[in-house]
Structure 1
Amino acid sequence: MTALPRLLIISFSPIRSDPRVLKQVGLFSGKYHVITCGYGAAPDGVDEHFALSPDAIGWPSDKIGLLGRRYRRAYDQIPAVQQARKLLAGISVDVVLANDLNTLPLAVQLEPKYGVHSDLHEFAPKEKEADLKWRLFVAPYMRWLCRTYLPRARSLTTVASGIAAQYNLDFGVDVDVVTNAAPFTEGAPRPVGGTIRLIHNGAGQRYRKLENLIEAMRSAPLGIELDIFVMPNEPDYVAELKKMAADVPSVKFRDPVPYDELVRISSEYDVSLVFLPPTTFNLKNALPNKFFEAVQARLGVIVGPSPSMVQIVNEYGFGTVTPDFSPTALAATIRSLNPEQIMEWKLAADRAAKPLAAESQLGIWEAAIRALLPASDSAVS
């Protein structure tokens, strides 16, 4: 019996809770001999797993390397890189799927037999551009990584067309798009009850300006409520948000829920607020997980004028777009909500659930990995 091609998936993230990487694992499990390297326990469906220590950070902290523009040294000093090299020393694989820019040099250095596919997720050189120190000292390092290693990947993907276009413009590489679509979920829209229930879930990071949601709810009429499920990425900021919401009785904070529960929990609501002010390039071009999870939960959505989201909302009709990113504009949109309109959005989301599901996107990754292999080594179809 012919052995399956050996595919190594690397991500400096806890893979069991990383939606995008989990989709890759599920896609290739059984078709390839799947090996993973990341934080935490092995995800379901893999053949081998190399676990990184939780304290092995995956970003550069070598100030001498960054300040002196000794970028190869800065990369080599990253604890996750050092640990992954030890764990993977001597490993033989056919293809590496490297997630995010920070794993790409490692993947190239492992010299897989047929090359590397890099899934870049977002636009790395502008990842934390709201931070002046990051712009001055880390962004040049990120651009060096791009110039040096993007041409060495045999194929590339990212999450949205605006980000793909920027990689092409800045570094002359062709990048395909695989959106952060959620897997298809069987379901039906729930009727709108006596209270219109809004939901927001996501990361608790200051640059996302979640205070706008709370300010917008100050003028919400009785019968409209917002639940916020937020990860404590920046605990001090999340504490500030909760204090701010203390005198807004229509806003409640809820404990975060596991990824595989998000669609089920979200389906109990009516409208998802996917309102991301463009404080960074990546937020301006965002097509986030929560947008697609709302579709699978059969919710309406309220989005700001984010180009990628606007295009899909207008095409499928499952929500509305605010005129701008101000709390005032969001508040006016919330005040205008009515059950009849929301039910129309929910029915539109139901019609969009299959065409916007992850299954419509996964073939792009599958084709990219298959294209690296010679025909005789193709995976099980």
Structure 2
Amino acid sequence: MKRKKQIIVSVTNDLVSDNRVHKVCTSLEKMGFEILLVGRKLKTSPELTRTYPTHRMHLFFTQGACFYAEYNFRVLLFLLFRKADVLLANDLDALTANYLASKIKRVPLVYDSHEYFTEVPELIDRPRVKKIWEWLESKMLPNLKHCYTVCDSIAAIYHEKYGTAFKVVRNIPVGNVESHKNKKSTQEKIILYQGAINIGRGLEQAIKAMHFIDDAQLVIAGDGDIKEQLEELVSTEKLENKVRFTGRLSIGELAKLTPTADLGLSIEEDLGLNYRFALPNKLFDYIHAGVPVLVSNLPEMTAIVEEYNIGEISHSHHPKDLAQSISKALINSDKRIIWMENLMQAAKELTWKNEEKVLKSIFSAFL
């Protein structure tokens, strides 16, 4: 029997809620590869059940420069002493170890850039740290042959900057159009934000907007750097009865929550090129769950909403303006009827099967 080719997939998170990586691993497994997914394990990380093997490292450092250095050193050692036919690095923070291992062992390397890493809001006001990441990027990306990212805009930037060709694999769910029918019938409306709770996601403004919205609850599903800060804001603004935090949910738990919403928020602020060209997986999750959306007036998200007519576009993050946009999206029954019909069609067209074709075009050469 012919031996299966093995791909070692690396990512810096604890694997629990990274749906993109899970989808890619599952697709590659279906192609006939043997997958090993490598990440880290935190004290709060729950156990995993996957169809493919995983390896999570206990690290001494959990954030900052020491974490990235320890992670890449540990992953490099791991890769040097494990057999692999292909390496797949997810994002710039996992690329260094994979790049060095690829050169030392002469193993093909594939790079999945989930975002425009050097333009994330967390680096905008940290020029020295940003320069370090940009230097690392400039040393590695021009030498990569197999790359893909989340949208056309970021692919174009990388090609212009480094001459490196990037294909596009969007963050589209595997999909279950039938889930659109599982709608709740309670009077209180649910406004949902799901994803990382970090700066620049419009969450502070969304919370304050709840002062001007009646008969609705804002549900924030996820975890991140500013979660505690937002919880304090809710308390200060006395909005505990209007804003609820679920904490981080597993992929399965989130799949049950999303269809219960009446409106899905993806209201990133224009803080650097990474957010300007954002095309987040939550937008496609809302679509596949049959949930109308409110998005920021940013090019990639606006293009999807306008093409399929599935929600509203917010032109302001001021709490009162945001509240007006949310209220319009919740109470305009004529528009909502059209949006619901269009969401069904969008979910049929925006499928992971189409994105898998791009993965196959990259990885079939290694079979």
TM-score computed with the length of structure 2 as normaliser: 0.88
CA distance in 2, matches of 1:92, 1:321: 49
- Match of residue 324 from structure 1: 316
Query: In structure 2, do the counterparts of structure 1 residues 247 and 85 end up closer, same or farther at CA, with 3 Å as the change threshold?
Result: closer
How many pairs does the alignment contain? 355
User: Is the counterpart of residue 46 in structure 1 residue 71 in structure 2?
Assistant: no
Q: Please identify, of 334-343 and 190-199, the stretch whose mean Cα deviation from structure 2 is larger.
A: 190-199
Contact 2:123 2:129 in 1 (8 A): no
- Percent identical among aligned pairs is 23
Q: Are residue 150 (structure 1) and residue 141 (structure 2) matched?
A: yes
Q: Aligned-residue CA RMSD in angstroms?
A: 2.4
Is 2:126 aligned against 1:117? no
2:277 to 285, 306, 320: 285
Counterpart of 2:34 in structure 1: which amino acid? H
1:174-323 to 2 correspondence within 5 Å?
174-185=165-176, 186-189=178-181, 190=183, 194-220=187-213, 222-247=214-239, 249-323=241-315
**AA aligned opposite 1:210:** L
Partner letter of residue 32 of structure 1? F
1:345 match = 339
- 1:147-200 CA distance string (max 9 Å, x none): 211122221111122222221222222211111112212323437654333211
Looking at structure 2, the residues matched to 6 and 42 of structure 1 have their Cα atoms a distance apart, in angstroms, of 20
Partner of 2:44: none
Q: Helix, strand or coil: the match of 1:180?
A: coil
Q: 1:360 to 1:247 in 2, by over 3 A?
A: same
Which of the pair is proportionally richer in helix? 2
Q: Is the 8 A contact 2:270 2:276 kept in 1?
A: yes
Counterpart code for 1:201: Q
Q: Of residues 83, 88, 91 in structure 1, which corresponds to 2:79?
A: 88
| Change beyond 3 A, Cα 1:159–1:115 | same
Deviations 1:208-265 (A, max 9, x none): 3411112222222x33332222414334413323224424743333344222221321
Question: Per the alignment, do residues 280 and 43 of structure 1 end up closer, same or farther by CA in structure 2, a change over 3 Å counting?
Answer: farther
8 Å Cα contact 2:59-2:71 kept in structure 1: no
Give TM-score, length-normalised by structure 1.
0.85
Aligned equivalents of 2:226, 2:243: Cα separation in 1:
20
Tell me how far 1:363 sits from its aligned partner.
Answer: 2.0
Q: Is this contact kept in 2: 1:59–1:102, CA < 8 A?
A: no
Q: Determine if the alignment matches structure 1 residue 37 to structure 2 residue 38.
A: yes
Deviation at 1:92, TM superposition (A): 2.7
Q: Quick check: 1:168 aligned with 2:159? A: yes
Distance 2:72 2:276 in 1: 30
Structure 2 portions without partners, runs of 5+: 42-46
Give distance in 1, aligned partners of 2:286 and 2:81: 44
Greater mean alpha carbon deviation, residues 84-93 or residues 245-254: 245-254
**SS of aligned partner of 1:207:** coil
Using the alignment, how far apart are the partners of 2:110 and 2:86 within structure 1? 8
Give, as a single letter, the amino acid of the residue that structure 1 aligns with 2:196: A
Aligned letter for 2:339?
W
| Partner secondary structure for residue 154 of structure 2 | helix
| Cα distance in structure 1, aligned partners of 2:122 and 2:257 | 33
Give the deviation of 1:57 after TM superposition. Answer: 4.5
